[in-house]
Amino acid sequence: MNKFIVFNFKMAPGSLKGAKEIFLIFKKFLQKVKSSKVIIVPPYVYLAEASNTFQKECFLGAQDVFWFNRNSATGEISPKMLKSFGVKYVIIGHSERREYLNETNEIINYKIKACLGSGLIPILCVGEKDRKEGDSSLSFPIKKILFEQLNYALRGIILKNSSDLVIAYEPIWAISNNEPKKIEDPEEIEKTISLIRFWIARRFSEEIAENLHILYGGSVNSQNIFSFLAFKEINGVLIGAASTNKIELTKLFKKIIK
Ligand code: PGA
């Protein structure tokens, strides 16, 4: 299975000029990336530029979507609009949206259905807020949170192919902007991803579970990327802050293309 590397720009950079500069770094290295599939997820306002800049060297993603295609939803962006820019993937249920915008599991479920119904592939983010001393992926509170998020987000969904969905395990405590920062342990991340895969096998099928991409996200950078990608169970990474830090991005690509 090839690994996915998703670059989530979040709300950066602050101008189109800055976005063009970041895209140039991607353009320089993307041709040389052989073993992974790269998905670039800029803010909506830079999607047109990204769609003009990149052709077949990567896939384009969006950071959110509204759940209807109809016209009356002020401020929102529809699946149809995203598709017209060549967007293929959409991040759904990122913890920052759950927190700042009160995005509920119910809304996340609508959005996943809207993506699947429009031929967009959702990258569903799940993850617990905190881990107490001694907690592991096998601890009841962790399982409960993850299974609940999966259960609600995927309620009523029929998956035809494992490639119709991507899951990103993003423990909130590991995301680079969150304090107090804890150090993530790739082995423990791998165990948690196996747990998510187990849930998928029971909910859908073993075949879907085996072939579904389940990624890890949280403070991934040029120093630690391979400590995650080395694990078979971790099918890729979702990178936040490092996506728009020119020095870090260049270092990261130099490692990936080695
Ligand atoms: P980070 O963000 O890489 O900056 O921790 C990951 C994410 O929130 O998607």
**List of residues 6+ apart from 225 with CB closer than 8 A:** 237, 239, 252, 255, 256
**Where in the sequence numbering do the catalytic residues fall?**
94, 170
Q: What angle do CA 201, 126, 8 make, to 5 degrees?
A: 120
The kind and range of the H/E element at 204 are none
Name which of 130, 90, 115, 108 is nearest 218 in CA terms. Answer: 130
Residue 184 banded pLDDT, cuts 50, 70, 90? confident
**Which tokens go with 172?**
């909130």
What does the alpha-carbon distance between residue 33 and residue 53 come to, in Å, rounded to a whole number?
Answer: 17
pLDDT of residue 71: 80
For ligand 1, atom 2, name the residue with the nearest CA: 240
User: What is the spatial distance between Cα 172 and Cα 97, in angstroms, rounded to a whole number?
Assistant: 12
pTM, entire model: 0.97
pLDDT band at 180 (very low <50, low <70, confident <90, very high): low
How far apart are the CA of 176 and the centre of ligand 1, in A? Answer: 6
Q: How far does residue 72's CA lie from ligand 1's centre (Å)?
A: 32
pLDDT in tens, 97-154: 999 999 999 999 999 999 999 999 999 999 999 888 878 877 888 999 999 999 999 9
Return the residue whose CA atom lies nearest to atom 3 of ligand 1: 240
Q: What DSSP designation does 46 have?
A: G
> Which among 99, 107, 105, 100 is positioned nearest to 149, based on CA atoms?
105
Q: Could you tell me the distance, in angstroms and rounded to a whole number, from the CA of residue 15 to the centre of ligand 1? A: 20
Residues in contact with ligand 1 by the CB-under-6-Å rule are 8, 170, 175-176, 217-220, 238-241
The predicted structure's pLDDT at residue 68: 85
Whether residue 179 has pLDDT greater than 70? no
Q: What is the mean pLDDT of the chain?
A: 95
Cβ density class 49-70: b for 16+ within 10 Å, e for less: ebeebbeeebbbbbbbbbbeee
36-49: per-residue pLDDT in tens?
A: 999 999 999 999 99
